[in-house]
Structure 1
Amino acid sequence: MMVSRFSLAVALWLVLAPMAARAESLSVDFSDLTLGSESFNNGSDGAGGFSSNGVFFRNSYNPTWQTWSGWSYSNQTDNTTAGFGNQFSSFAGGDASGDGIYAVAYGQSPSSVRFDLPELDPHRSPVSMSASFTNTTYAALSMQNGDAFSKKFGGSTGNDPDFFLLTIVGYSGLGASGDIIGEVDFYLADFRFDDSSLDSIVQDWTTVDLSTLIGARSIGFRLTSSDVGTFGMNTPAYFAMDDFSIRFSVIPEPASIAMFGVGLAGAVAIVRRRRGRIV
C-alpha cells in the first residue's frame, strides 16, 4: 500500500506541477523607447502620444506656440539649473530603473495628464500595482527657492504650511472616463508639519503603492498646490514617473483544467495497475 500511495503522489505531482500558480508582470520602465544623449521627446512629432509596453501615454502639442501638455519622455540629468528652460529633467538626476529614460508630465488635471492601460487577459488576475515618482528640477527648485511666479515654500519664516500634492486616479474607462475606481495621494512637497525640520521636497524616486486602483482601464493625474494666485496654481505643474508595474497571478485556462482532468484520470489508472502487482 505504501508503494501505491507514493506512486499516486508522484503521479499527481507530475500532473499538478504545470498547474501551479505563477506570477507575471506588466512593467513600463520606458526602456523600449529611444533618445539621443541628454534629450527628450515632447510630442513635436504630432503623434498625440506614445506607447511603452502596451500602455498609451497621451500628449498634446501645439506647433504654433511649440507648447505641450500630457506626457513626454526624457533622459536629461540636470538637477541644478532652475527655470522653465530645464523642464525635462528629474530632480533625482536621472531615471529610477537604470535604463536612462523616464516620463515627464505637465498639466494639472486628468483631462490633460492620463494614460490608458491595455485590455488585460481574463486569465491574469492583478494582485498589485505601483509606480515611482519624483519632482522635476524645474518644479523642485521653484518650490525650494521661489521665482518670478512662485513663492518659496515655507515662506520667509519657513513656517507656511505649503504643499504640492499629486493625486493618482483610477478610472473604469479609457481616457480618464467612466467611474472612479479609487484615488491615491502622494505629496511631492510637504511643509505642513509643526516641526519645520520635517518639511521636505521630494528629490529621490519614491515607489507608491497603487493597488487600490486595480481594475482601472486608465490612470489620471491631478496636481494641487498651496501656492495659488489670480490665474490658478503658481507652482510649475510638472512631475516625473518611472517603473509603472502591475503584477498578476496567472489563472489556468479552461484547456489546461481539462488536461488536468485527463492527467488525473491517467494517474489514477497507473496507480491501480501498479497496485495489482504489489505483494
Structure 2
Amino acid sequence: MKKLSLFFITCLSAFIFCSCDKDDENTTTVVPVSISLENKLTEDNTEFISEKEITPGTSTLDTFQDSNGLLTFDHYFADWGSGYSFSAFTYMNKTDNSASNSPVPYCKKAKTGKVYLAVNPSDYSPAIMTINNPSIYTINGAWVTNSTYAYNSMTIGDSYATAFKKDSYFKLTATGFDANNNVTGTAEIYLANYKSDNDKPVTEWIWFDMSPLMAAVKIQFSLTSSDTGEFGMNTAAYFCMDDIVLNKISL
C-alpha cells in the first residue's frame, strides 16, 4: 500500500511539473508602449501641414504616423478662403490659446513634452486612428482634454452654441472596428458633465481608458453634446489627445 501511494504521489508530482512547464511556455507578456510625436516638429508654435496640393473649396484626405510608425492618423485639410484648416487629426506644439476658436488645449500645454494631437471629428471627416500591426499591439488608452474652442463654446457660448447649465454634457466616444469594419466595442468619457449650473468643463489632462476596444484594428472618435440643434451639434467639435498607450503582446 505504501509503495502504491508513493507511486501515485510521484506521478501526480510529475503531472503538475509538466503542466506548469506547459503554462510557462504559453505565458502571454503584455508591455505598455507610449506613443510619441515629439520629433515630428522642429520649430515652436507649428503644426502638421500636408504636402499634398490644396484644391480650393474641397477637403482632401492625407495621413500621418507617430514617430515609431505604430499608428496611422487620418488628416483632412482644406482652404475655405481663410488659409489652411484641418479636420480629423493633426499634431501641433502651439500654446497660444488667446483666440476664442483656438484648437490648443485650454491648459495651454501637452500632457508630456510639447507635441500633442488636436482632433476635430465630423461625419464628413471622421477622426480614425489605425493600429498598424494589430496582431502585436492593442489599444490601452490615452490622455485627453478640452480644446480652448470647445471650452469657450461651453462656458461663454458663441454664434452657434449656448453656455452650459445643469444637465449639460460634452462626451467623447471611441468606437473600435475590426479588419472587416465590424464594431468591436465602444468606450466613453465626459469632457463636461454639469451636475449644477456652477460646474465647468474639464481643464486638465484626464485618462481615457480604451481597453474595452482591445480587439480593434482601427478606432473612430466622435463627440456628442446636449447642445444640439436642427443641423447637429452646436458645441465646437474639438478636443486634444496625448500620450496614447498601446499594449504590446508577445508569447
The TM-score, its normalising length taken from structure 1, stands at: 0.70
1:213 aligned partner: 213
Letter in 2 for 1:78: D
CA RMSD, 1 decimal: 2.7
1:22 shift after superposition: 4.8
Separation (CA, whole Å) in 1 of partners of 2:250 and 2:244: 19
Sequence identity percentage = 27
Residues 35, 125 of structure 1: CA spacing in aligned structure 2 closer, same or farther, 3 A cutoff? closer
Separation (CA, whole Å) in 1 of partners of 2:126 and 2:192: 22
Unmatched tracts of structure 1, length 5 or more: 1-14, 252-279
26-35 or 240-249: which moved more? 26-35
Instruction: Give the number of aligned pairs.
Output: 218
Q: Contact 1:165–1:185 (CA<8 Å) still a contact in 2?
A: yes
2:91 aligned partner: 73
State yes or no: 1:57 paired with 2:76.
no
Letter in 2 for 1:168: A
Letter in 1 for 2:77: Y
Residues 68, 249 of structure 1: CA spacing in aligned structure 2 closer, same or farther, 3 A cutoff? closer
Q: Deviations over 1:2-55 (max 9, x none)?
A: xxxxxxxxxxxxx9xx97865433321312311421222254645702110321
Bigger radius of gyration, 1 or 2? 1
Please show how residues 1-279 of structure 1 align to structure 2 within 5 Å.
22-43=29-50, 45=52, 48-52=62-66, 53-54=68-69, 55-63=71-79, 65=81, 66-79=84-97, 81-84=98-101, 86-87=102-103, 89-97=104-112, 99-109=113-123, 112-121=126-135, 124=136, 126=138, 129-154=140-165, 159=166, 161-173=167-179, 178-191=181-194, 193=195, 195-196=196-197, 199-251=199-251
The TM-score, its normalising length taken from structure 2, stands at: 0.77
Separation (CA, whole Å) in 1 of partners of 2:49 and 2:152: 21
Separation (CA, whole Å) in 2 of partners of 1:133 and 1:213: 17
Q: Contact 1:78–1:90 (CA<8 Å) still a contact in 2?
A: no
Runs of 4+ residues deviating >4 angstroms: 18-23, 44-47
Residues 223, 21 of structure 1: CA spacing in aligned structure 2 closer, same or farther, 3 A cutoff? closer
Bigger fraction of residues in helix: 1
Separation (CA, whole Å) in 1 of partners of 2:121 and 2:160: 17
Unmatched tracts of structure 2, length 5 or more: 1-20, 54-60
